[in-house]
Chain A
Amino acid sequence: SQKIEQNSEALNIQEGKTATLTCNYTNYSPAYLQWYRQDPGRGPVFLLLIRENEKEKRKERLKVTFDTTLKQSLFHITASQPADSATYLCALDSPFSGGYNKLIFGAGTRLAVHP
């Protein structure tokens, strides 16, 4: 079965720096990959989607890369702010979804941005 690895330890960075979060996966290569943000006591919120034929996607201060050779996605937040502190979840599509957009989530990485 698909295994998704995200840094289990929290990432602590200084305000203004770039945060880089890693998502590694094994076995099959997904057709697409999504990143979500989750704040304590809330449901995940969609941030970005990247397809297997796309190397990079950007949205404001966010950038996602997708390397199917390395089986890895990197998620970057530039000019980070304390408000960016949250848990970030990586999610891959499942090949057994019958085309119905089924996602498998990683455990997430907690980001803490300090003033």
Chain B
Amino acid sequence: EAGVAQSPRYKIIEKRQSVAFWCNPISGHATLYWYQQILGQGPKLLIQFQNNGVVDDSQLPKDRFSAERLKGVDSTLKIQPAKLEDSAVYLCASSLGGAGMVTEQFFGPGTRLTVL
């Protein structure tokens, strides 16, 4: 079974520039998550999709971050404009879980973003 795919693996940009990350979840997984992991910290949930609808984006800085999941499959996360504090690893995860289901999450390798 193919895992969660993410690209690019690394990205270096200057502050105020824009950047986009792509995620392809495991086939059949209805739930997709984007996490931000700053060095030395655990993953922090930015946004959670159930199929192509958002179920939680309470910690997404909406003035600069946006995400979409077209057709309930692939997803993109965009930062515009980037700030120095956005330097982190951005992890995408997926799970089978729907409402009321408790399941494990499968993570991709992440995209390491460096903002200069």
Contact = CB atoms under 8 A, between A and B. Distances in A.
Interface of A: 4, 31-32, 34, 41-46, 49, 51, 89, 91, 93, 96-108
Interface of B: 4, 31, 40-45, 48, 50, 55-56, 58, 91, 93, 95, 97-110
Contacts, number: 68
B31 A100 contact: yes
Q: Specify the main secondary structure of chain B where it touches its partner.
A: loop
A8 B53 CA distance: 36
A108 B31 contact: no
A43 B109 contact: yes
Contacts of B44: 105
B104 A100 contact: no
Contacts of B56: 96-98, 100, 102
Nearest to B55: A100
Given A4-B42, A100-B97, 20 more contacts: A34-B104, A41-B109, A42-B110, A44-B105, A44-B107, A89-B43, A93-B102, A96-B58, A98-B56, A99-B100, A100-B48, A100-B99, A101-B31, A101-B97, A101-B101, A101-B105, A103-B45, A104-B45, A107-B42, A108-B42
